[in-house]
Amino acid sequence: METAIVIGAGMVGLSTAWHLQEHGVEVTVVDREGVAAGSSWGNAGYLSPALTLPLADPSVWTYGLKALLDPDAALHVPLRVDPGLWGFLARFLAHGTMRAWHRTMAGLAPINALALEAFDQLTDGGVAARTREGPFVVGFTDHASATSFLDELEWVRGHGMEVEVERLDAARALAPILSEEVTAAYRMNGQRFIEPGPFVNALGDAVRARGARLLTGDAVTEVRPGRAPGVVLATGEQLSADSVVIATGAWMPQLARPLGVRTRVQAGRGYSFSVGVEEPIPHPVYLPAQRIACTPYQGRLRIAGTMEFLGPDEPPRDRRIRAMLTQVDGLFRGVDLDDRRDEWVGSRPVTPDGLPLVGATAGRGVYVAGGHGMWGIVLGPATGRLLAKQIVTGQVDPVLTPFDPLR
């Protein structure tokens, strides 16, 4: 029986493991902490292909300056001597053009089109979790921001994607948490959401129940390519298999760079917390101008947002939580922002061009799956399916071509 080692037990790694099992591969999953321990746990859980867009656009040139000068901006870049970070930012800014936006969107659109069906394949195949239908309520405090958002959706449609959006005359009927300061709101259909932690844990349970070995609390310090590729654990133990997949998110460069994956993967850290509400809301609420995504969460409201370019292992910063509170100040009603729980930070793996890194490395038998930026949750199952097919058959699906990790 063919064997594989998957490093990383988040949505991307476990989806790859599940699909390898679909091909009859015996899988070992290794994670230094545990299932859903990284950026998979506390994000907004949006399964929204229509919102899975390039991070860099022309606005990044003006917003990037604000990020340096305003500590409460939704994007935060530290003023420090860090040549690697500044090199990443230079390449990221270089993609802040409409031409680059459309090039990246053209790469994302085909996998976006597979995203929701890929979740159905998991749940129909025995993963004991579910996705929830929207609608999403998208709110704005000014006409200019709403117009900019609608223009971007038109660009998305131009890449062949379906986007269902309609103006709401009574936004508070769907989203009673919105205050009168939200003067324009839209209903977006055709999108879904999940509570990511439980979903990824259910996926891990399914992978384990189908015979996989899960080694948690074990860090991989080295990946060795070859006829029988393998990994070295921090304990000194060595494991080998027919293939190895590196799916470690923002930590990918530590293992993948020696194997020819030169694209910088920068941790774009996102924060979230939950707050009390007078009455539970049934739908996600998205505030694009504030970069804030809200989701129903166990009778409360999860508020997620911000983008902080720091190292993935640096401690969380309370200032980012305060910045998020500043962003939503006055926009909610019936929401107790002082009743904060579940404060969390997760390191999203961001590439300069906004495209993931999925496919074979220069090392024989070793593959990577990551670099999805903010979209690892929604694109994880489709990524796992396409990569598992490549590993087993040797055929690269055209959807993965833009994501070549050796580009």
How many other β-carbons are positioned within 10 Å of the β-carbon of residue 352? 22
pLDDT less than 70: residues of the chain: 63-69
pTM attached to this predicted model: 0.95
Classify residue 68: in a domain, yes or no: yes
* Range of the structural domain that residue 97 is part of: 1-401
Q: What is the reported pLDDT for 68?
A: 62
Look-up: residue for tokens 């500043």?
A: 326
Q: What is the reported pLDDT for 67?
A: 64
The CATH number for 224's domain is 3.50.50.60
Tokens describing residue 116 = 């929701």
Look-up: residue for tokens 């793996």?
A: 349
In whole angstroms, what is the distance from residue 105 CA to residue 87 CA? Answer: 23
Classify residue 284: in a domain, yes or no: yes
In whole angstroms, what is the distance from residue 73 CA to residue 61 CA? Answer: 14
Q: What is the reported pLDDT for 302?
A: 98
Element holding 255 (H helix, E strand): helix 252-256
**CB neighbours of 267 closer than 8 A, spacing ≥ 6?**
250, 309, 310, 311, 312, 347, 348, 349, 350
Classify residue 218: in a domain, yes or no: yes
Residue 301 three-state SS = strand
Return the CA Rg of the chain: 20
Residue 284 three-state SS = coil
Q: What is the reported pLDDT for 324?
A: 96
Number of domains composing the chain:
1
In whole angstroms, what is the distance from residue 7 CA to residue 255 CA? Answer: 10
User: Are the C-beta atoms of 184 and 140 separated by less than 8 Å?
Assistant: yes
Classify residue 406: in a domain, yes or no: no
Classify residue 407: in a domain, yes or no: no
Residue whose C-alpha is closest to residue 138's, from 160, 111, 164: 164
Q: What is the reported pLDDT for 65?
A: 63
Classify residue 291: in a domain, yes or no: yes
